[in-house]
Amino acid sequence: MRIDRRQALALLGTGAAAPALAQETGGKVRFEHGVASGDPTQDRVVLWTRVTPASPGKPVEYRWRLNPVDRRAGGAKQGAGVTGPERDYTVKVDVDGLDAGRAYTFEFEAEGVKSPTGRTRTLPAGGVKDVVLAVASCSLYPNGYFNAYQAIADLPRVDAVLHLGDYIYEYGGPGSYGDDSAVAPLRRHDPYREIVSLADYRRRHAQYKADPALQAAHARAPWIVVWDDHETANDSFLNGAENHQPAEEGDWNARKAAALKAYYEWMPIREPAAGQDLASAACRSFRFGDLAQLVMVETRLTARDQQLNLDRDLTDGPDGRPDAAAFKAKLNDPNWRMMGPAQEAWIGRELAASVAAGHAWQVIGNQVVMARVDRPLRPALTPDEVAKMTPEALSRMSRRDKAADLGIPAALDMWDGYPADRERLYGVFKGAKARPIVVSGDSHSFWANELKDAAGRRVAAEFGTTGITSPGAGELAPGVDYGEVIARANPEVLYNNQVAKGFVLLTLTREQATAEMVAVSTIVEKDFTAKALKRWIVTPDGTGPSAPKEG
């Protein structure tokens, strides 16, 4: 698969929804952040925009319109509302009474000014031949241009976009993450410091949604989203985050509440039901006709215990050597949680219902890599590869391998850091007799993994998507295929690419699931091409992932 932008736009034709420039406003409102849709079901979809007021502080009236693309009689919808500073002038409309499997265009209007036009689609009911999903994660604004989002917008077909988190980053200021990239001087984070308050998070979301490529991807198809850690703070958990210092940054619950309020204001996600808290509302499922069920899980803010830390928790025993046994006792504690019992039970019910309905696939929208990636890397390196690695990369690998030699995983923020919870989840998969495909974000690298339980039995396939722009660990080891080294060392890892930027294009049919690792040629220039680096196939009988023969 290779996508040239001009060819792709020609394929899309006039029915596609490319962002249109809003007309000159003459001192009236503006639509500076595009339009979006999300959380589609068979009969409803969420429409979103943000009105930039000419006079902040006053409410703004708006109208919205939704029209079927097929122009058959019936199906058009319209309505009106008011937005204001209490929700940062964002607009969210949950339109119901729609037809299943139907494509629509939509737009907003305020004070005579029209928004860009978006395109959306409800989920199908009944028999479905295939489903095409783009899976994305990790878009660090200062580190590069959002070319991968543009590549998603340019696809000839995409039924929905799954975004698995790190849609924004909380960092900012001189020396912050990504601030040393080639394009960072043109894409400094706004505000240019770490964000903490509600006003900060709103301003950061506004900066990201002002990006034309991201607007184009939002206008192309409905999105189904979930946060990871950076929508609040790095390595977040239920009661805090690695990047939250209460003495300087205040109460964690206040910061978390501000971040989630901004997230719900600025993202096309359905509002929580009455009595439901913002964090648990991220757990939801979507049925694609008779073909697949998508289950979106939440592993950050509803139940996660604080991640173990090698420096803090791996202490020396009486003999002066690292007490690996004590560390592993904490790691394998059955009460060490990434998700709570209520979410586990809900996942089990959703999977069982999907299997009972005869779906070929159960897709798990998951934040962090689930596979075991805990083996030492140095034995998998050739002498030539060692010679090419930078001192920093060797130092990081040495630290990682010291833990691995003790039987301890280094990536303790991933599912490797919560093995008992992972085993329970695998039990849920098996109990439901599901055919799971796990899709994961967070790692800034492509993955094709074959997940196995503690007894070595295969339970699922996993496809990890790389970052839209966020840097991968392989960039510390130029000249060495660092991902290949990881795959050589770890039996569950079939493929890993630690350098490429892009997304996973997942196509589901009854016969097979195909995952294409689509990479863009550059993130430091706006002109780019996109192509599939690798294709992987899984079949419902439990075969795969397997790479098809080239040609």
Q: Enter the pTM of the model.
A: 0.94
Cα 473 from Cα 2, distance rounded (Å):
25
What would the two tokens of residue 336 be? Answer: 């060490």
What's the pLDDT tens digit per position in 207-247? 999 999 999 999 999 999 999 999 999 999 999 999 999 99
Q: How confident is the model at residue 287 (pLDDT cuts 50, 70, 90)?
A: very high
pLDDT at 173 over 70: yes
pLDDT score, position 548? 78
pLDDT score, position 546? 86
pLDDT score, position 24? 46
Please give the C-alpha separations between residue 162 and each of 63, 151, 511, 535, in angstroms, as whole numbers.
28, 14, 22, 19
CATH T-level fold of 1-123: Immunoglobulin-like (2.60.40)
DSSP 8-state symbol, 69: T
Beta strands in 384-490 (DSSP E): 436-440, 446-452, 458-464
123 within 8 A of 101, measured Cβ to Cβ: yes
Which listed CATH number (3.30.420.40, 3.60.21.70, 3.80.10.10, 3.40.50.920) goes with 126-538? 3.60.21.70
Q: Which residue is it, tokens 């809003």?
A: 22
User: Could you give the percent of the chain with pLDDT greater than 70?
Assistant: 95
pLDDT score, position 16? 40
Closest CA to 176 of 200, 192, 165: 192
Mean residue pLDDT of the chain comes to 93
pLDDT score, position 17? 42
pLDDT score, position 547? 82
CB-count exposure of residue 382 (10 Å: 0-12, 13-18, 19+): exposed
pLDDT at 544 over 90: no
Closest CA to 419 of 451, 443, 454, 458: 454
What would the two tokens of residue 158 be? Answer: 């995409």
What's the pLDDT tens digit per position in 398-417? 888 999 999 999 899 999 99
Where do the structural domains in the chain lie, given as residue ranges?
A: 1-123, 126-538
pLDDT score, position 314? 93
What's the pLDDT tens digit per position in 503-543? 999 999 999 999 999 999 999 999 999 999 999 999 998 88
pLDDT at 381 over 50: yes
pLDDT at 166 over 90: yes
